[in-house]
């Protein structure tokens, strides 16, 4: 079974400003999601199709977690695609395959509480430090939680999501071994690019320039 894109993180230093920016680009107001305890972040979400969504993510001003994603995003001077996540129903098998390829990972339980008070739980398989950094996928199992793309604001549709990387051939080899179905092309320097059809036309989101 192919492991397809679940969502990608579009990160910035301020969530309210990021939501306004996204609305200005697309005409769609991303739904507020919730906070991520211990990660120093909070988010807003917009569906990009039946099983894929965009996560707008930024520091949570109520948390101060040195060394966390929240602390990192607080230093961003511009909004950018930070990383991406693929679906994995058998996350232990993914972990075994990654170990066989020489990649160490950490399996964690995560959750957030929605504005309506619903608790959403999932498991994440996070790669430890490696030469691909944020261009190496994170894996997610939503357990018995409803997939966010089914419950958040619609109106946008993902046209394509692409990774450019100097080691595209090696990254593609790893993706093939893991059955990860994400496009990788050769580029002089790493980048992410997402093309999204919106009520206001085609919008292109990128990683940092």
Task: For 2-28, write each residue's pLDDT tens digit.
Answer: 999 999 999 999 999 999 999 999 999
Q: What is the pLDDT of residue 115?
A: 78
Report which secondary-structure segment, H or E, holds 94: helix 91-100
pTM listed for this prediction: 0.94
- Domain range list for the chain: 3-206
DSSP character for 133? G
Across the range 119-141, mean pLDDT stands at 94
- pLDDT of res. 26: 98
By residue count, the chain amounts to 209
Residue 170 has pLDDT above 90, yes or no: yes
DSSP assignment letter at 121: E
pLDDT at 176: 96
Residue 119: pLDDT band (50, 70, 90) is confident
DSSP tag of 61 = T
Q: Is pLDDT at 1 greater than 90 in this prediction?
A: no
Q: How far apart are CA 204 and CA 188, in angstroms?
A: 20
pLDDT band with cut points at 50, 70 and 90 for residue 118:
confident
Is residue 57 over pLDDT 90?
yes
How far is the C-alpha of 69 from the C-alpha of 57, rounded, in Å? 9
Q: Please give the pLDDT value at position 129.
A: 92
Overall fold of domain 3-206: 2,3-Dihydroxybiphenyl 1,2-Dioxygenase; domain 1 (3.10.180)
């Amino acid at each position: 079974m192919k492991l397809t894109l679940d969502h990608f993180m579009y990160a910035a230093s301020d969530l309210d400003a990021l939501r306004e920016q996204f609305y200005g680009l697309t005409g769609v107001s991303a739904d507020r999601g919730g906070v991520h305890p211990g990660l120093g972040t909070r988010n807003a979400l917009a569906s990009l199709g039946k099983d894929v969504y965009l996560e707008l993510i930024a520091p949570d001003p109520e948390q101060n977690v040195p060394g966390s994603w929240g602390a990192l995003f607080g230093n961003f001077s511009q909004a950018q695609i930070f990383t991406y996540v693929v679906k994995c129903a058998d996350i232990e098998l993914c972990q075994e395959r990654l170990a066989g390829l020489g990649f160490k990972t950490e399996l964690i339980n995560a959750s957030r509480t929605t504005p309506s008070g619903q608790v959403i739980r999932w498991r994440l398989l996070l790669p430890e430090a490696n030469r691909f950094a944020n261009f190496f996928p994170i894996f997610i199992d939503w357990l018995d939680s409803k997939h966010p793309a089914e419950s958040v604001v619609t109106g946008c549709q993902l046209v394509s999501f692409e990774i450019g990387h100097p080691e595209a051939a090696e990254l593609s080899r790893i993706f093939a071994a893991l059955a990860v179905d994400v496009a990788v092309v050769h580029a002089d320097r790493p980048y992410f690019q997402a093309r999204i059809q919106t009520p206001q036309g085609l919008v292109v989101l990128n990683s940092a320039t």
